[in-house]
Amino acid sequence: MAKTMKFGDCVADYRAIMADVAARRFHPIYLLAGDEGFFIDAICDALGGSILNEAERAFNQITVYGLDTDAGAVVNLCRQMPMMGSYQVVIVREAQQMSKLDQLVHYTSSPQKSTILIICYKNKEQGRGIDKRTTFFKSCQKNGVVFESVRPRDYEVDSWLNTYVASCGLDIQPKALAMLKEHVGMDLSRMAQEIQKLSVSLPQNDRKVTDNHIEQYIGLSKEFNTFELNDAVLKQDVARAMRIADHFGHNPKSYPITLTINILFGLFQQLFLLNYLMWQQRRKGIALPNDNELMREIRVNNLYQLKEIKMNVGRWDNRRVFGILGLLREYDAKSKGIDSGGLDGGELLKELLLKIFTIR
């Protein structure tokens, strides 16, 4: 059985390839495949910007797209000789859309030393991965570099994100990091874009990113967002939660109630799981996992949120939590028009929150 690529291995491979590019150690074939587009695009862009100088690119660098070409045309391009330079670079983007991709084996089984072929294959476009059993795939492994790009799980992002922030010359506060992840989600490309925006926007003498910077430069209100709503509910801050709910009610397109309920459901699932693990610790002597393992166990996506949940879990015993999970299912149905009583999303959210705070 083939070994499943893990996110940590993917990051290590990515760094090794980028180090080779920086040192100008190139290979005749790069097959960049997987379901995380950020690493594929980053390696392709690094190669495309490094192998040839600007003048050489005009004659010797060609980019084609899978939907607009075929294997035969790419093979013919790769067999051409470079003009006034050492290398010719052929980039195939969106290769997952190319019909009969495997026919590239006619070139990849015997590549030219003067051509560097870069194939970008993003699984998410077709919902399936590249077939590793084919002669084409094996020839890319034998004669070049195959990179598998893996999408991280929630609990795996923090380490990579902190490293990426530091590579941009920034330092980020835990709360600001949590807000950024809450706003962007698990889209690494968008995360990188927002961090680049912060890097350009912040003055050189002040490189520490705070929640104020997230609000100012990324456009996420530091007071009215789902991250702050979760925080207010977790700490049983009724007044703050109702203010946020009122803001959400006046901005339903930006804060759809179905998404808000789903996020609240995730919070109470985390509380339920942590309560259970703590019960096991008390009753059965089973040690509570360390923070990194705990993040995976209860599906928390950053250490800041884990710390807040651990500090406030005592407010929510599992008898209450179980009832709240039922409420959230009920209001999820109401948000979709089932027995809603004619209430709009904002009114439903306020009603739900009041029931959450008063349930015993």
Listed as own residue / partner, the contacts of 302-309 with beta carbons closer than 8 Å and 24 or more positions apart are: 302/157, 302/158, 302/174, 302/177, 302/178, 302/181, 303/158, 303/174, 304/174, 304/175, 304/177, 304/178, 305/178, 307/174, 308/231, 308/234, 309/234, 309/267, 309/270, 309/271, 309/274
pLDDT at 320: 95
- What is the per-residue pLDDT for 124? 61
The encoded tokens of residue 5 equal 């690529």
List phi, psi (to 5°) of 208. Answer: -95, 120
- Which is nearest to 89 in space by CA: 4, 37, 26, 11? 26
**DSSP letter string, 304-318:** HHHHHHHHHGGG--H
The predicted structure's pLDDT at residue 160: 87
Q: What is the pLDDT of residue 125?
A: 47
Q: Which domains does the chain have, with CATH numbers?
A: 7-149 (3.40.50.300), 154-218 (1.10.8.60), 226-358 (1.20.272.10)
pLDDT of residue 183: 79
Nearest residue to 275 (alpha-carbon basis) of 305, 318, 332, 228:
318
Each residue's pLDDT tens digit in the chain (360 positions)?
356 788 999 999 999 999 999 999 999 999 999 999 999 999 999 999 999 998 899 899 999 999 999 999 999 999 999 988 889 999 999 999 998 899 999 999 999 999 999 999 998 644 567 888 999 999 999 999 999 999 988 778 888 888 899 999 999 988 888 888 877 877 899 899 999 999 999 988 888 999 889 888 887 777 888 889 999 999 999 999 999 999 999 999 888 999 999 999 999 999 999 999 999 999 999 999 999 899 889 988 778 889 999 999 999 999 999 999 999 999 999 999 898 888 899 999 999 999 999 998
pLDDT for residue 28 = 97
pLDDT (0 to 100) of residue 3 = 63
Asked if 27 and 108 count as a contact pair (C-beta separation under 8 A), the reply is no
Query: Residue 220: what pLDDT?
Result: 77
The CA–CA distances, whole Å, from 145 to 25, 26, 121, 183 equal 12, 9, 14, 35
- Position 349 scores a pLDDT of 96
Helices 257-284 and 291-298, axial angle in degrees (round to 10): 130
